[in-house]
Amino acid sequence: MVLKSNETIDKNLSELVFTIDRAKFDEAVTDAYKKNVKRMNIPGFRKGKAPKAIVEKMYGKGVFYEDALNAILPDEYEAALKESGLDVVSRPEFDVDDIGDEGVTVKAKVYTRPEAEIGNYDGIEEERELTPVTDEDVQKELERVQQRNSRTVEVTDRAAAIDDTANIDYTGYIGDKKFDGGEGKAYDLKLGSNSFIPGFEDQIVGHVAGDEFDVNVTFPENYHAEELKGKPAVFKTKLNAIKVTELPELDDEFAKDVSEFDTLDEYKADLKKKLEDNDKSRADNRVENKIIDKLIDLMTVDVPEAMYVSEVENQLRDFDNRLRMQGMDLSTYLKYTGMDLDGMRKQFRPQAEHAVKSRLALEAVAKKENIEVSDEDLEKEYENIAKQYNVEIERAKEIPADTLSGDIRVRKALEAVKAKAKITDVEKKPEAPAPAETAEETAAADEAAPEASDAE
């Protein structure tokens, strides 16, 4: 590869012109011939046995040029880009200018990272809203830990009651016919949870394990399944078992079991500190986001559209990866939601624009502050990544140093701005209560029918 020129042809748009050695191109053409000739039928030759010259004579000399270029162009472009020193933010737009005896001349148009200018950010004023941690907050957290350490035991000496968990089999009928979604096996139903249609759970109360009985209900008029609205139904039901949840006592022994502390008071004090630390962390994040928004307002930059498009695609890929970790993928998600890729891109566009502008603003700060990233900074970051993801440090070091260095640099830039900011701690005001549900909304929320899928 020979880089012939590197010119700026428009704002943030550059054109690289480079040549690929003819011998290297001819070698790629030969490789393309070997891969494709197996599928070619040439009169007078067995399939896949026609000489390259005969194939080219029949189909044209450039029959294998496209495949050859696709094979070698990525590496040749990367070499030209490295030599140019450009910081590109888009995929290249290639134009093969000439294929001659001396080689292949290629033009590549690319958008480059824009140079942002940042105004005076000294003394940015911001409030850090902190929420006082009360004894009630600590008690709720303690009860959550208590619930996580509870155990379920079977009750055999009494009838089912509200707050018990009833393990049931049921089959629903409209008249003498079963209906779809009305059957379940070994389903655990919390009595009093109102998770089934009104009246269902109350009719289990008073029965003992082993009882078989009918549950008579009427589907609500606004039930989601059209064929069941307002219909009377009978559920043939068997109560397999009655279970209750036993909670451990909140005492010193409990504290010893769930923590490194010897007394409940010590454990509660630790819970309170952790709740306070978590609140401070959330408050810090809110302050940082507000500071970044102010930096964006102080920035002057002409952002290429390609940067926004690229960031949207990055966020789509991240979203797809998160879905796959949950056993789904993007195509399945789109099918269930009735959306298409263009709709998803529109949804991601605002946050993609904000992410691009945030990065550019912090990069401008880093330049203004002459922030550098040392080898020690990089090593520490690799160690943190290895620890966070529980991998060997050599695996962490597969992340390119340039990528990691850029992330560290903008993080340092944010810390530099925060160090110059005037941040005042204030008590967070209580959030306004959510609007009360209408009677129709409340009823709709409670009208879940027992379905076989719930028991699976």
**Residue where a domain stops, chosen among 63, 86, 112:** 112
Give CA–CA dist 12/307, Å, rounded. 11
Question: Are residues 180 and 85 part of one domain?
Answer: no
Least confident of 33-37, 133-137, 290-294, 407-411: 33-37
Averaged pLDDT score across all residues of the chain: 90
CA 258/CA 278 separation, integer angstroms = 20
Whether 354 is covered by a domain: the verdict is: no
Could you tell me whether strands 125-130 and 422-427 are parallel, antiparallel, or unpaired per DSSP bridges? parallel
Between CA 386 and CA 173 the distance in angstroms is 57
Determine the average pLDDT of the residues in 63-70.
Answer: 93
Last residue of a domain, one of 63, 92, 112: 112
**Domain check: are 32 and 105 in the same one?**
yes
Token code pair at residue 264: 């409940």
CATH number at residue 169: 3.10.50.40
**In 3-state terms, the chain is what percent helix, strand and coil (to 5)?**
45, 25, 30
- Whether residues 105 and 164 share a domain: the answer is no
DSSP three-state, residue 241: strand
Tell me the longest C-alpha to C-alpha distance in the chain: 95
In a domain, 284, yes or no: no
**For the residues 279-292, what does the mean pLDDT come to?**
96
**How deeply is 98 buried, as exposed, middle or buried, from its count of CB atoms within 10 A (0-12, 13-18, 19+)?**
exposed
Average pLDDT (421-448) is 62
Instruction: Give this prediction's pTM.
Output: 0.73
Does 79 share its domain with 156? no
CA 107 to each of CA 104, 165, 215, 445: distance values in angstroms, whole numbers, following the listed order? 10, 71, 76, 61
Q: Which residue has the tokens 């719930």?
A: 454
**Better pLDDT: 46 or 81:** 81
When mean pLDDT is compared across 24-33, 124-133, 349-358, 426-435, the lowest value belongs to 426-435
Check whether residue 241 and residue 155 sit in a common domain.
yes
Give the residue, 268 or 328, on which the prediction is more confident. 268
The one-letter amino acid code at 102 reads E
Residue 370 lies in a domain: no
Give the pLDDT band of residue 101 (cuts 50, 70, 90).
confident
Residue 420: Cβ within 10 Å count: 12
Number of domains comprising the chain? 2
Give the pLDDT confidence of 199-229 residue by residue, as tens digits. Answer: 999 999 999 999 999 999 999 988 888 888 8
CATH number of the domain that residue 31 is part of: 3.30.70.1050
Q: Which residues does 362 contact at the CB level (< 8 Å), separation at least 6?
A: 292, 295, 410, 413, 414
Residues 60, 108 within the same domain? yes
CB 64 within 8 A of CB 33: yes
Task: Verify that 71 and 24 share a domain, yes or no.
Answer: yes
pLDDT attached to residue 137? 96
Residue 355 lies in a domain: no
Examine the pLDDT at 440 and tell me if it is beyond 70: no
- 14: three-class secondary structure by DSSP: strand
The answer to whether residue 358 is domain-embedded is no
- Nearest-angstrom CA–CA distance, 79 and 71: 14
- pLDDT band at residue 100 under the 50/70/90 scheme: confident
Residue 441 has pLDDT above 90, yes or no: no
The phi, psi pair for 313, rounded to 5°, reads -65, -40
In this prediction, residue 451 carries a pLDDT of 45
Is residue 17 within 8 Å of residue 4, measured between CB atoms?
Answer: yes
Last residue of a domain, one of 61, 86, 112: 112
pLDDT value at 251 more than 50: yes
- For residue 236, the model assigns a pLDDT of 96
Domain assignment of residue 265, yes or no = no
- 7 in the same domain as 87: yes
> Residue written as tokens 């001819």?
26
pLDDT confidence bin for 435, thresholds 50/70/90: low
Return the SS3 of 141. Answer: helix
Residues 105 and 8 in one domain: yes
Question: Of 32-41, 211-220, 289-298, where does mean pLDDT reach its minimum?
Answer: 32-41
Domain residues for the domain of 77 are 2-112
- Count of beta carbons in the 10 Å neighbourhood of residue 122: 9
Q: Note the pLDDT tens digit of each residue in 369-397.
A: 999 999 999 999 999 999 998 999 999 99
Residues 72 and 169 in one domain: no
CA–CA dist 159, 164 (Å, integer): 10
- Is 166 inside a domain boundary? yes
Strands of 306-389 (E only): list them. Answer: none
CA–CA distance from 132 to each of 167, 280, 290, 427 (Å)? 42, 10, 21, 7
* 97 or 448, higher pLDDT: 97
Coil vs helix vs strand at 177: strand
Q: Residues near 149 by Cβ (< 8 Å), separated by ≥ 6?
A: 247, 248, 254, 257, 258
Contacts of 395 (CB under 8 A, 6+ apart): 386
- For residues 104 and 157, membership in a common domain is answered with no
404 inside domain: no
Q: Is the dihedral of CA 188, 192, 195, 197 positive or negative?
A: positive
